[in-house]
Amino acid sequence: MKIIIIGCGKVGRTLALQLSEEQHDIVLIDTSSQRLQEFSEEIDAMYLVGNGASISIQEEAGIQDADILIAVTGSDELNLLCCLIAKRVSDCHTIARVRNPVYSQEINFIKERLGISMSLNPEFATATEMARLLRFPSAIQIDTFAKGRVELLKFKLKPEFGMDGLAVSELAERFKCDILICGVEREGGVNIPRGDFILKNDDMISIVASPQNSAAFFRKIGLATHQVKNALIVGGGTLGYYLAKQLLYMKIKVRIVEKDKERCEELSELLPEASIINGDGTDKKLLMQCGLPSAEAFITLTSIDEENIFLSLFAKEQSKAKLITKVTRIAFDSIIEKLDLGSVIYPKYITADYIIQYVRAMQNSIGSNVETMYHILDNRAEALEFSIREDGPVIDVPLMDLPLKDNLLVCCINHHGKITIPRGHDRIQVGDTVIIVTTRKGLQDINDILRKQV
Protein backbone atom coordinates (compact mmCIF):
# COMPACT_ATOMS: atom_id res chain seq x y z
CA MET A 1 0.00 0.00 0.00
CA LYS A 2 1.00 3.62 -0.44
CA ILE A 3 1.20 5.36 2.93
CA ILE A 4 1.89 9.06 3.54
CA ILE A 5 3.28 9.96 6.98
CA ILE A 6 3.23 13.61 8.02
CA GLY A 7 5.63 14.32 10.89
CA CYS A 8 9.09 12.77 11.15
CA GLY A 9 9.33 12.78 14.94
CA LYS A 10 9.73 9.74 17.18
CA VAL A 11 6.38 8.16 16.30
CA GLY A 12 6.67 9.03 12.61
CA ARG A 13 10.10 7.42 12.36
CA THR A 14 9.03 4.31 14.27
CA LEU A 15 6.03 3.92 11.97
CA ALA A 16 8.06 4.49 8.81
CA LEU A 17 10.64 1.88 9.82
CA GLN A 18 8.07 -0.78 10.67
CA LEU A 19 5.82 -0.14 7.67
CA SER A 20 8.73 -0.11 5.24
CA GLU A 21 9.81 -3.52 6.61
CA GLU A 22 6.36 -4.75 5.54
CA GLN A 23 7.06 -3.59 1.95
CA HIS A 24 4.74 -0.58 1.88
CA ASP A 25 5.55 2.48 -0.23
CA ILE A 26 6.29 5.26 2.24
CA VAL A 27 6.21 9.04 1.70
CA LEU A 28 7.51 11.14 4.61
CA ILE A 29 6.59 14.84 4.93
CA ASP A 30 8.13 17.20 7.47
CA THR A 31 8.89 20.92 7.70
CA SER A 32 12.48 20.17 8.79
CA SER A 33 14.86 19.24 6.00
CA GLN A 34 17.49 18.35 8.60
CA ARG A 35 15.18 15.84 10.29
CA LEU A 36 14.38 14.18 6.98
CA GLN A 37 18.04 14.16 5.97
CA GLU A 38 19.03 12.42 9.23
CA PHE A 39 16.46 9.71 8.56
CA SER A 40 16.94 9.34 4.80
CA GLU A 41 19.69 6.71 5.09
CA GLU A 42 17.58 4.40 7.28
CA ILE A 43 14.77 3.54 4.86
CA ASP A 44 14.05 3.75 1.15
CA ALA A 45 11.20 6.27 0.97
CA MET A 46 10.13 9.48 -0.73
CA TYR A 47 10.97 12.56 1.36
CA LEU A 48 9.22 15.93 1.03
CA VAL A 49 10.03 19.12 2.90
CA GLY A 50 6.95 21.23 3.54
CA ASN A 51 3.70 21.74 5.40
CA GLY A 52 1.64 18.54 5.34
CA ALA A 53 -1.57 20.58 5.49
CA SER A 54 -0.77 22.15 2.12
CA ILE A 55 -2.84 20.79 -0.75
CA SER A 56 0.07 21.21 -3.16
CA ILE A 57 2.43 19.26 -0.85
CA GLN A 58 -0.12 16.46 -0.45
CA GLU A 59 -0.64 16.34 -4.21
CA GLU A 60 3.12 16.19 -4.74
CA ALA A 61 3.19 13.29 -2.29
CA GLY A 62 0.58 11.50 -4.41
CA ILE A 63 -2.46 11.81 -2.16
CA GLN A 64 -4.83 10.95 -5.03
CA ASP A 65 -3.59 7.35 -5.17
CA ALA A 66 -2.57 6.96 -1.52
CA ASP A 67 -4.22 4.28 0.63
CA ILE A 68 -3.58 5.87 4.03
CA LEU A 69 -2.47 9.27 5.33
CA ILE A 70 -1.09 9.32 8.89
CA ALA A 71 -0.62 12.70 10.60
CA VAL A 72 1.62 12.50 13.69
CA THR A 73 3.08 16.00 14.01
CA GLY A 74 3.38 17.69 17.40
CA SER A 75 0.20 19.72 16.77
CA ASP A 76 -3.30 18.21 17.16
CA GLU A 77 -4.82 20.97 15.05
CA LEU A 78 -2.33 20.42 12.22
CA ASN A 79 -2.93 16.66 12.31
CA LEU A 80 -6.69 17.13 12.05
CA LEU A 81 -6.30 19.68 9.25
CA CYS A 82 -4.00 17.35 7.29
CA CYS A 83 -6.62 14.59 7.51
CA LEU A 84 -9.46 16.94 6.56
CA ILE A 85 -7.64 18.12 3.43
CA ALA A 86 -6.70 14.56 2.47
CA LYS A 87 -10.34 13.46 2.68
CA ARG A 88 -11.42 16.38 0.45
CA VAL A 89 -9.04 15.47 -2.38
CA SER A 90 -8.90 11.67 -2.16
CA ASP A 91 -10.64 8.54 -0.86
CA CYS A 92 -7.75 7.45 1.36
CA HIS A 93 -8.07 6.41 4.99
CA THR A 94 -6.81 9.00 7.47
CA ILE A 95 -5.26 8.58 10.93
CA ALA A 96 -4.58 11.50 13.29
CA ARG A 97 -2.65 11.68 16.53
CA VAL A 98 -4.78 13.76 18.94
CA ARG A 99 -3.36 14.37 22.41
CA ASN A 100 -5.26 17.27 23.98
CA PRO A 101 -7.74 16.05 26.64
CA VAL A 102 -10.30 18.60 25.39
CA TYR A 103 -10.28 17.10 21.88
CA SER A 104 -10.23 13.58 23.27
CA GLN A 105 -13.59 14.16 24.93
CA GLU A 106 -15.05 15.22 21.57
CA ILE A 107 -13.21 12.75 19.36
CA ASN A 108 -16.30 10.83 18.17
CA PHE A 109 -17.86 14.07 16.95
CA ILE A 110 -14.58 15.15 15.30
CA LYS A 111 -14.11 11.80 13.55
CA GLU A 112 -17.67 11.78 12.23
CA ARG A 113 -17.61 15.37 10.94
CA LEU A 114 -14.09 15.29 9.49
CA GLY A 115 -14.28 11.75 8.15
CA ILE A 116 -11.19 10.60 10.06
CA SER A 117 -10.79 6.81 9.99
CA MET A 118 -8.87 6.55 13.26
CA SER A 119 -7.61 8.87 15.98
CA LEU A 120 -5.03 7.95 18.56
CA ASN A 121 -4.09 9.58 21.83
CA PRO A 122 -0.60 8.31 22.78
CA GLU A 123 -0.73 9.61 26.34
CA PHE A 124 -4.14 8.06 27.04
CA ALA A 125 -3.10 4.72 25.50
CA THR A 126 0.12 4.75 27.54
CA ALA A 127 -1.75 5.63 30.73
CA THR A 128 -4.12 2.71 30.14
CA GLU A 129 -1.14 0.37 29.76
CA MET A 130 0.38 1.65 33.01
CA ALA A 131 -2.91 1.40 34.92
CA ARG A 132 -3.25 -2.21 33.78
CA LEU A 133 0.19 -2.98 35.22
CA LEU A 134 -0.73 -1.46 38.57
CA ARG A 135 -3.80 -3.68 38.73
CA PHE A 136 -1.45 -6.69 38.51
CA PRO A 137 1.93 -5.37 39.76
CA SER A 138 3.78 -8.70 39.65
CA ALA A 139 3.77 -8.59 35.85
CA ILE A 140 6.34 -6.59 33.92
CA GLN A 141 4.08 -6.29 30.87
CA ILE A 142 0.40 -7.04 30.29
CA ASP A 143 -1.34 -7.10 26.91
CA THR A 144 -5.01 -7.96 26.48
CA PHE A 145 -6.94 -9.77 23.75
CA ALA A 146 -10.52 -10.89 23.09
CA LYS A 147 -11.94 -7.78 24.76
CA GLY A 148 -10.10 -8.52 28.00
CA ARG A 149 -10.92 -12.24 28.17
CA VAL A 150 -7.28 -13.21 27.46
CA GLU A 151 -4.05 -11.70 28.79
CA LEU A 152 -0.43 -12.00 27.78
CA LEU A 153 1.73 -11.41 30.85
CA LYS A 154 5.49 -11.13 31.24
CA PHE A 155 7.39 -11.82 34.46
CA LYS A 156 10.86 -12.71 35.67
CA LEU A 157 11.54 -16.28 36.79
CA LYS A 158 12.91 -16.24 40.35
CA PRO A 159 14.38 -19.14 42.38
CA GLU A 160 11.53 -19.08 44.91
CA PHE A 161 9.03 -20.04 42.19
CA GLY A 162 10.51 -23.55 41.96
CA MET A 163 10.42 -23.62 38.16
CA ASP A 164 14.15 -23.81 37.41
CA GLY A 165 14.92 -26.90 35.31
CA LEU A 166 11.28 -27.60 34.44
CA ALA A 167 10.29 -28.35 30.86
CA VAL A 168 7.49 -26.20 29.46
CA SER A 169 5.34 -29.32 29.00
CA GLU A 170 5.54 -30.08 32.74
CA LEU A 171 3.98 -26.81 33.93
CA ALA A 172 0.32 -27.67 33.40
CA GLU A 173 0.66 -30.88 35.44
CA ARG A 174 2.80 -29.28 38.16
CA PHE A 175 0.59 -26.24 38.80
CA LYS A 176 -2.81 -27.49 37.54
CA CYS A 177 -3.38 -24.23 35.64
CA ASP A 178 -4.48 -23.72 32.06
CA ILE A 179 -1.71 -21.41 30.90
CA LEU A 180 0.68 -21.45 27.94
CA ILE A 181 4.26 -20.20 27.89
CA CYS A 182 4.56 -18.41 24.55
CA GLY A 183 7.92 -16.68 24.88
CA VAL A 184 11.18 -16.82 26.82
CA GLU A 185 13.88 -14.14 26.83
CA ARG A 186 17.29 -15.36 27.97
CA GLU A 187 20.73 -13.72 27.76
CA GLY A 188 19.74 -11.44 24.92
CA GLY A 189 18.01 -14.20 22.93
CA VAL A 190 14.31 -14.76 22.27
CA ASN A 191 12.61 -18.17 22.09
CA ILE A 192 9.14 -19.34 21.08
CA PRO A 193 9.41 -22.51 23.21
CA ARG A 194 8.32 -26.04 22.40
CA GLY A 195 7.26 -28.50 25.07
CA ASP A 196 10.80 -29.76 25.68
CA PHE A 197 12.23 -26.27 26.33
CA ILE A 198 13.88 -26.13 29.79
CA LEU A 199 13.27 -23.04 31.93
CA LYS A 200 16.01 -21.36 33.97
CA ASN A 201 16.01 -18.82 36.78
CA ASP A 202 16.22 -15.19 35.57
CA ASP A 203 14.42 -16.04 32.31
CA MET A 204 11.82 -13.48 31.24
CA ILE A 205 8.68 -15.54 30.73
CA SER A 206 5.59 -14.53 28.73
CA ILE A 207 2.39 -16.51 29.30
CA VAL A 208 -1.07 -16.50 27.71
CA ALA A 209 -4.12 -17.25 29.85
CA SER A 210 -7.52 -15.97 30.92
CA PRO A 211 -7.32 -13.42 33.79
CA GLN A 212 -8.69 -16.04 36.19
CA ASN A 213 -6.16 -18.71 35.19
CA SER A 214 -3.22 -16.31 35.16
CA ALA A 215 -4.17 -15.07 38.65
CA ALA A 216 -4.44 -18.67 39.89
CA PHE A 217 -1.04 -19.53 38.39
CA PHE A 218 0.66 -16.51 39.98
CA ARG A 219 -0.85 -17.32 43.37
CA LYS A 220 0.48 -20.89 43.18
CA ILE A 221 4.04 -19.77 42.42
CA GLY A 222 3.87 -17.13 45.17
CA LEU A 223 3.47 -13.88 43.21
CA ALA A 224 1.12 -11.19 44.51
CA THR A 225 -1.93 -10.62 42.34
CA HIS A 226 -3.69 -7.68 44.08
CA GLN A 227 -3.60 -4.15 42.70
CA VAL A 228 -1.53 -1.49 44.43
CA LYS A 229 -3.19 0.74 47.04
CA ASN A 230 -1.20 3.92 46.43
CA ALA A 231 1.02 5.43 43.73
CA LEU A 232 3.64 8.17 43.66
CA ILE A 233 3.96 9.83 40.24
CA VAL A 234 6.84 12.12 39.26
CA GLY A 235 5.71 14.39 36.42
CA GLY A 236 2.32 16.04 36.05
CA GLY A 237 2.08 16.46 32.29
CA THR A 238 -0.72 15.15 30.09
CA LEU A 239 0.34 11.53 30.63
CA GLY A 240 0.48 12.06 34.40
CA TYR A 241 -3.03 13.52 34.31
CA TYR A 242 -4.50 10.62 32.30
CA LEU A 243 -2.80 8.05 34.53
CA ALA A 244 -3.86 9.71 37.77
CA LYS A 245 -7.45 9.92 36.57
CA GLN A 246 -7.54 6.20 35.79
CA LEU A 247 -5.88 5.25 39.09
CA LEU A 248 -8.31 7.37 41.11
CA TYR A 249 -11.17 5.60 39.32
CA MET A 250 -9.57 2.31 40.46
CA LYS A 251 -9.64 3.65 44.08
CA ILE A 252 -5.84 3.95 44.20
CA LYS A 253 -4.48 6.89 46.22
CA VAL A 254 -2.39 9.19 44.03
CA ARG A 255 0.37 11.68 44.78
CA ILE A 256 1.90 13.72 41.95
CA VAL A 257 5.18 15.62 42.21
CA GLU A 258 5.32 18.43 39.63
CA LYS A 259 7.92 21.21 39.28
CA ASP A 260 5.74 23.82 37.57
CA LYS A 261 3.58 25.71 40.07
CA GLU A 262 0.99 26.81 37.51
CA ARG A 263 0.58 23.22 36.31
CA CYS A 264 0.13 22.11 39.94
CA GLU A 265 -2.77 24.54 40.29
CA GLU A 266 -4.35 23.15 37.12
CA LEU A 267 -3.95 19.57 38.36
CA SER A 268 -5.48 20.49 41.73
CA GLU A 269 -8.62 21.60 39.91
CA LEU A 270 -8.68 18.69 37.47
CA LEU A 271 -7.87 16.02 40.08
CA PRO A 272 -9.32 17.17 43.43
CA GLU A 273 -8.96 13.68 44.94
CA ALA A 274 -5.20 13.51 44.25
CA SER A 275 -2.41 15.04 46.34
CA ILE A 276 -0.42 17.49 44.21
CA ILE A 277 3.07 18.42 45.46
CA ASN A 278 4.90 21.36 43.91
CA GLY A 279 8.60 20.46 43.87
CA ASP A 280 11.52 18.96 42.00
CA GLY A 281 10.93 15.24 41.50
CA THR A 282 14.69 14.64 41.33
CA ASP A 283 15.12 15.92 44.91
CA LYS A 284 15.78 12.74 46.90
CA LYS A 285 14.84 14.38 50.21
CA LEU A 286 11.50 15.53 48.79
CA LEU A 287 10.71 12.04 47.48
CA MET A 288 11.37 10.56 50.92
CA GLN A 289 9.08 13.18 52.48
CA CYS A 290 6.41 12.32 49.91
CA GLY A 291 6.36 8.74 51.19
CA LEU A 292 8.57 6.90 48.73
CA PRO A 293 9.60 4.19 51.27
CA SER A 294 5.95 3.18 51.75
CA ALA A 295 4.78 3.68 48.17
CA GLU A 296 3.39 0.57 46.47
CA ALA A 297 3.94 2.05 43.00
CA PHE A 298 6.46 4.60 41.73
CA ILE A 299 6.02 5.98 38.20
CA THR A 300 8.51 8.31 36.50
CA LEU A 301 6.99 10.49 33.79
CA THR A 302 9.38 13.41 33.38
CA SER A 303 10.34 14.57 29.88
CA ILE A 304 13.96 13.47 30.38
CA ASP A 305 14.72 9.75 29.99
CA GLU A 306 17.86 9.92 32.12
CA GLU A 307 15.90 11.41 35.02
CA ASN A 308 13.27 8.70 34.78
CA ILE A 309 15.89 5.95 34.75
CA PHE A 310 17.90 7.28 37.70
CA LEU A 311 14.76 8.00 39.71
CA SER A 312 13.61 4.40 39.24
CA LEU A 313 17.03 3.09 40.28
CA PHE A 314 16.86 5.28 43.41
CA ALA A 315 13.34 4.09 44.20
CA LYS A 316 14.46 0.49 43.82
CA GLU A 317 16.98 1.05 46.63
CA GLN A 318 14.57 2.89 48.91
CA SER A 319 11.33 0.93 48.56
CA LYS A 320 9.61 -2.22 47.37
CA ALA A 321 7.37 -0.25 45.03
CA LYS A 322 6.22 -1.49 41.64
CA LEU A 323 8.36 0.54 39.22
CA ILE A 324 7.16 1.95 35.91
CA THR A 325 9.71 3.89 33.87
CA LYS A 326 8.76 5.94 30.82
CA VAL A 327 11.41 6.04 28.10
CA THR A 328 11.00 8.18 25.00
CA ARG A 329 14.18 7.47 23.05
CA ILE A 330 15.18 3.90 22.20
CA ALA A 331 18.80 4.30 21.10
CA PHE A 332 20.02 2.50 24.23
CA ASP A 333 17.10 0.15 24.81
CA SER A 334 19.35 -2.94 25.01
CA ILE A 335 21.24 -1.35 27.91
CA ILE A 336 18.07 -0.11 29.60
CA GLU A 337 16.61 -3.63 29.58
CA LYS A 338 19.55 -4.84 31.69
CA LEU A 339 19.00 -2.27 34.46
CA ASP A 340 15.97 -4.01 36.02
CA LEU A 341 13.81 -0.88 36.05
CA GLY A 342 10.56 -2.75 36.52
CA SER A 343 8.17 -2.11 33.63
CA VAL A 344 9.79 0.08 30.98
CA ILE A 345 7.17 1.78 28.81
CA TYR A 346 7.89 3.20 25.34
CA PRO A 347 4.87 5.39 24.35
CA LYS A 348 5.83 5.52 20.68
CA TYR A 349 5.79 1.71 20.40
CA ILE A 350 2.28 1.67 21.85
CA THR A 351 1.17 4.31 19.34
CA ALA A 352 2.83 2.55 16.40
CA ASP A 353 1.31 -0.82 17.33
CA TYR A 354 -2.24 0.57 17.20
CA ILE A 355 -1.65 2.16 13.79
CA ILE A 356 0.08 -0.89 12.27
CA GLN A 357 -2.77 -3.05 13.54
CA TYR A 358 -5.17 -0.82 11.61
CA VAL A 359 -3.01 -0.96 8.47
CA ARG A 360 -2.88 -4.76 8.50
CA ALA A 361 -6.62 -5.00 9.07
CA MET A 362 -7.15 -2.79 6.01
CA GLN A 363 -5.04 -5.05 3.83
CA ASN A 364 -7.31 -8.03 4.30
CA SER A 365 -10.79 -6.79 5.08
CA ILE A 366 -12.57 -10.00 4.03
CA GLY A 367 -10.86 -13.19 5.21
CA SER A 368 -9.33 -12.48 8.63
CA ASN A 369 -8.65 -9.11 10.15
CA VAL A 370 -5.89 -8.31 12.61
CA GLU A 371 -8.03 -7.34 15.59
CA THR A 372 -5.18 -6.69 18.02
CA MET A 373 -1.39 -6.52 17.72
CA TYR A 374 1.46 -6.00 20.17
CA HIS A 375 5.21 -6.04 19.81
CA ILE A 376 6.52 -8.29 22.60
CA LEU A 377 9.69 -10.09 23.73
CA ASP A 378 11.87 -6.97 23.67
CA ASN A 379 10.17 -5.90 20.42
CA ARG A 380 11.51 -8.95 18.57
CA ALA A 381 8.22 -10.81 18.27
CA GLU A 382 4.56 -10.06 17.65
CA ALA A 383 1.39 -11.21 19.34
CA LEU A 384 -1.56 -10.96 16.95
CA GLU A 385 -5.26 -11.63 17.31
CA PHE A 386 -6.97 -12.65 14.05
CA SER A 387 -10.73 -12.60 13.53
CA ILE A 388 -11.69 -15.57 11.32
CA ARG A 389 -14.42 -14.53 8.89
CA GLU A 390 -14.45 -17.17 6.15
CA ASP A 391 -13.41 -20.70 5.30
CA GLY A 392 -9.78 -21.44 4.40
CA PRO A 393 -6.91 -23.93 4.71
CA VAL A 394 -6.59 -23.50 8.50
CA ILE A 395 -10.29 -24.12 9.21
CA ASP A 396 -11.49 -27.32 10.93
CA VAL A 397 -8.07 -28.99 10.77
CA PRO A 398 -6.43 -30.32 13.98
CA LEU A 399 -3.56 -27.99 14.86
CA MET A 400 -1.18 -30.95 14.95
CA ASP A 401 -1.88 -31.50 11.23
CA LEU A 402 -1.32 -27.92 10.12
CA PRO A 403 2.06 -27.20 8.47
CA LEU A 404 2.84 -24.24 10.75
CA LYS A 405 5.84 -22.03 10.13
CA ASP A 406 8.79 -22.25 12.52
CA ASN A 407 9.01 -19.86 15.48
CA LEU A 408 5.24 -19.54 15.59
CA LEU A 409 2.75 -20.63 18.24
CA VAL A 410 -1.06 -20.79 18.21
CA CYS A 411 -1.65 -19.59 21.78
CA CYS A 412 -5.38 -19.23 22.20
CA ILE A 413 -8.71 -19.80 20.45
CA ASN A 414 -11.74 -17.71 21.44
CA HIS A 415 -14.85 -19.56 20.26
CA HIS A 416 -17.91 -17.36 20.92
CA GLY A 417 -16.50 -16.27 24.28
CA LYS A 418 -15.16 -19.67 25.32
CA ILE A 419 -11.40 -19.36 25.80
CA THR A 420 -9.25 -22.39 24.94
CA ILE A 421 -5.50 -22.79 25.37
CA PRO A 422 -5.21 -25.12 22.38
CA ARG A 423 -3.64 -28.55 22.18
CA GLY A 424 -2.88 -30.61 19.10
CA HIS A 425 -6.45 -31.87 18.58
CA ASP A 426 -8.10 -28.43 18.77
CA ARG A 427 -9.37 -26.79 15.57
CA ILE A 428 -9.91 -23.24 14.34
CA GLN A 429 -13.48 -22.45 13.19
CA VAL A 430 -15.12 -19.59 11.30
CA GLY A 431 -16.23 -16.98 13.83
CA ASP A 432 -13.30 -17.62 16.18
CA THR A 433 -10.59 -15.17 17.13
CA VAL A 434 -7.12 -16.72 17.30
CA ILE A 435 -4.00 -15.44 19.05
CA ILE A 436 -0.66 -16.09 17.38
CA VAL A 437 2.80 -15.35 18.82
CA THR A 438 5.70 -15.35 16.37
CA THR A 439 9.10 -13.88 15.67
CA ARG A 440 8.06 -13.66 12.00
CA LYS A 441 6.92 -10.07 11.69
CA GLY A 442 4.42 -8.86 9.15
CA LEU A 443 1.67 -11.53 9.24
CA GLN A 444 -1.46 -10.02 7.71
CA ASP A 445 -3.82 -12.99 7.41
CA ILE A 446 -4.40 -16.16 9.42
CA ASN A 447 -3.30 -18.24 6.41
CA ASP A 448 0.14 -16.63 6.70
CA ILE A 449 0.86 -18.96 9.63
CA LEU A 450 1.20 -21.90 7.19
CA ARG A 451 4.36 -22.93 5.41
CA LYS A 452 4.15 -22.61 1.64
CA GLN A 453 3.61 -26.00 0.11
CA VAL A 454 6.17 -26.99 -2.56
The superfamily in CATH containing domain 366-449 is: Regulator of K+ conductance, C-terminal domain (3.30.70.1450)
Res. 23 pLDDT band, cuts 50 70 90: confident
Residue 399: is its pLDDT beyond 80? yes
pLDDT at 225 over 80: no
Fold of 230-345: Rossmann fold (3.40.50)
Helix (H) or strand (E) run with residue 383 in it: strand 381-388
Question: How many C-beta atoms lie closer than 10 Å to residue 390's C-beta?
Answer: 9
Residue 429 to residue 426: CA distance in whole angstroms: 10
Residue 285 burial (10 A CB sphere; 0-12, 13-18, 19+): exposed
Shared fold status for 2-120 and 230-345: yes
If DSSP codes are grouped into helix, strand and coil, which group holds residue 270? helix
Q: What is the DSSP string of 284-312?
A: HHHHHHTTGGG-SEEEE--S-HHHHHHHH
pTM of the complete model beyond 0.75 = yes
- Residues whose CB is less than 8 angstroms from the CB of residue 254 and which lie 6 or more positions away in sequence, other chains included: 230, 231, 233, 244, 247, 248, 271, 273, 274, 275
Burial class (CB in 10 A: 0-12, 13-18, 19+), 23: exposed
Domain locations in the chain as residue ranges:
2-120, 230-345, 366-449
Can you tell me the distance from the alpha carbon of 6 to that of 70, in angstroms, rounded to the nearest whole number? 6
Is the pLDDT confidence value at 450 over 80?
yes
What digits encode the pLDDT tens for the residues 410-429? 999 999 889 999 989 999 99
Largest CA distance in the chain: 68
Predicted confidence at residue 111, as pLDDT, reads: 79
| CA distance linking residue 228 with residue 359, whole number of Å | 36
Work out the average pLDDT over 181-190.
91
**In terms of Cα–Cα distance, which of 352, 351, 125 is closest to 246?**
125
Whether 370 has a pLDDT exceeding 60, the answer reads yes
Cβ distance 8 to 2 under 8 Å?
no
Of the chain, the percentage scoring pLDDT greater than 90 comes to: 62
Q: What angle do CA 324, 348, 449 make, to 5 degrees?
A: 100
Q: Whole-angstrom Cα distance, residue 454 to residue 445?
A: 20
Task: Report the alpha-carbon distance of residue 214 to residue 180 in Å, rounded.
Answer: 10
For 64, the 3-state DSSP assignment is helix
Decide if pLDDT at 454 tops 70. no
Q: How confident is the model at residue 336 (pLDDT cuts 50, 70, 90)?
A: confident
Provide the H-helix boundaries in 298-371: 305-318, 333-336, 347-363
Separation CA 343–CA 130 (nearest Å): 9
pLDDT of residue 367: 53
pLDDT at residue 376, as a whole number:
87
Domain at 2-120: CATH architecture: 3-Layer(aba) Sandwich (3.40)
